[in-house]
Amino acid sequence: MGKASKEILDLSFLGQEGEDAPSRKANLGWDAALIENARVMVVGAGALGNEVLKNLALIGVKNILIVDFDVVEKTNLAKSVLYRERDCTGEKHKVEIAVERLKDLNPKLKLMAINGDATLDVGLGVFRKMDVVIGCLDNRMTRMWLNRYCFALGKPWVDGGILSLEGQVDVYAPGVNCYECGLGPRALELIEYRNGCVNRMKRYASAGLANTNAIVASIVGAVQVQEALKLIADPSRSLAGHQFYFNGRSNYYDKLGKATPRRATCRSHIPYAGIVEAPLSAEHSVAETLEWLAGHFNTRQISILLHHQVVLKAATGQSEKVKRFVKARPHVTEADLDGLREIPEEEVRFLEWTDTVDAGFPYPELRLRDIGVPPYHILQVIAEGKKNYVELSADERFLKFE
């Protein structure tokens, strides 16, 4: 830059017969083995997720974990290269169809799918085994949790956002920048409120409402994958700490400096140090888990802090009916509340809940997964007042790319 006239690079000869790159390795200019063997988690298989997955598959990133909880709907078809009209039965999950189509595109891929919510259903041990996480999301709450999990495990993540003809990509790397530090007090309040919502659609209130299109999704998705590849093979060139911004109305794009001061009160800056790899699993009962922890830490003063609340008792406001059940609060559905309301739309309150599991937990026979702990999770364990991180390492077999 700075010159009055720029020399124009002539690439017009490329793409002619005989000029194709002989291999993917030559095409990328990066170490193909690093890229092939990397493990990449893609969260969200909507418009952006489709573009990201398609690019990863074409480039030959073999180990891809796809996380999404939605089913394929007709509204997805105009912006999602992987879905077809015949997928819109109302029962086919995006992750299951995406796996099928990606295998078609590149049979060498080793894929894994989690049909669930990235904030709740993906164990932190899974994050720990990833090289990079790519967020293809439409809500702040999931972004905030991804940011916390990635920071905790020292993993970089690439966030993409699209709205109408505008799009942006941010790369967050531990020690460089933080998504949560960039959120204002109002956004944090809203996230806090939605965290507590029962209904999944209320939790992700923006889901499906954003005006997005295939063109901006393909540009932003492409830059996200480019950045993910850099994080794997050439991190010094990463966008971390800056933002890629694109506006399709004017074809304006820029790399913006986006340094946000770190907030001392930010809850994302908690690294999981000294992780204990325990022979435990989400299939173990609460009692078995507490017993192992007591032996390992040589104390009976053990409590497990959960990322979520476990509901034990719900009641209605007006008719004062009460129902007991045990379920992670974000997993509670209208079906769980069946028989509770006598007046339609009657407000339901959770009378008893806990986010701590210790010797006083009333259902010690329940398995960890029954109270919402995902396989291969890393538990936060307080032993005699000191915090420890304990991985359910017996669940390693859960992580299966095939």
In order, the DSSP letters of 44-61 are: --SHHHHHHHHHHHHHT-
Between 175 and 362, CB nearer to Zn ion: 175
Nearer to Zn ion, 181 or 225 (CB): 181
Residues facing 367 on adjacent strands: 285
Question: Helix-strand-coil percent breakdown of the chain, rounded to 5?
Answer: 30, 25, 45
- Report, in Å, the least distance between residue 260 CB and Zn ion: 8
When the beta carbons of 83 and 179 are compared against Zn ion, the nearer one is 179
Q: Which of 341, 314, 342 is closest to 326 using CA atoms?
A: 314
Residue 150 in the binding site for Zn ion (CB under 5 A): no
Number of residues near Zn ion (by CB under 5 A) = 5
Verify binding: residue 178, Zn ion, rule CB under 5 A.
yes
Instruction: Quote the least distance from Cβ 74 to Zn ion, whole Å.
Output: 39
* Residue 266 is a binding residue for Zn ion (CB under 5 A): yes
Of all helices (H) and strands (E), which one includes residue 26?
Answer: helix 24-28
Query: Quick one: which H or E segment has residue 349?
Result: strand 348-358
Least distance between Zn ion and beta carbon 232 (Å): 24
Please tell me what DSSP assigns to residue 93: B
191 binds Zn ion (CB under 5 A): no
Does 173 participate in binding Zn ion (rule CB under 5 A)?
Answer: no
**Token digits for 158?**
């690439």
User: Does 312 contact Zn ion by CB under 5 A?
Assistant: no
Among 63, 218, 268, 388, binds Zn ion (CB under 5 A): 268
Closest approach of Cβ 21 to Zn ion, in Å?
Answer: 41
| 238 binds Zn ion, rule: CB under 5 A | no
Strand order of the sheet with strand 132-136?
Answer: 110-115, 63-68, 39-43, 132-136, 157-163, 166-172, 242-247, 252-257
- The answer to whether 298 touches 381, Cβ cutoff 8 Å, is no
How open is the CA angle 278-283-287, to the nearest 5 degrees? 75
The verdict on 177 binding Zn ion (CB under 5 A) reads: no
140 vs 327, which CB is nearer to Zn ion? 140
CA distances for 306 relative to 139, 303, 355, 360, 382, angstroms: 22, 10, 5, 15, 11
Q: Which stretch binds Zn ion (CB under 5 A): 172-180, 224-232, 235-243, 275-283?
A: 172-180
Nearest CB to Zn ion, comparing residues 121 and 180: 180
Q: Taking CB under 5 A as the rule, does residue 181 contact Zn ion?
A: yes
Write down the least CB distance from residue 150 to Zn ion, Å.
12
180 binds Zn ion (CB under 5 A): yes
| Site of interaction with Zn ion (CB under 5 A) | 178, 180-181, 266, 268
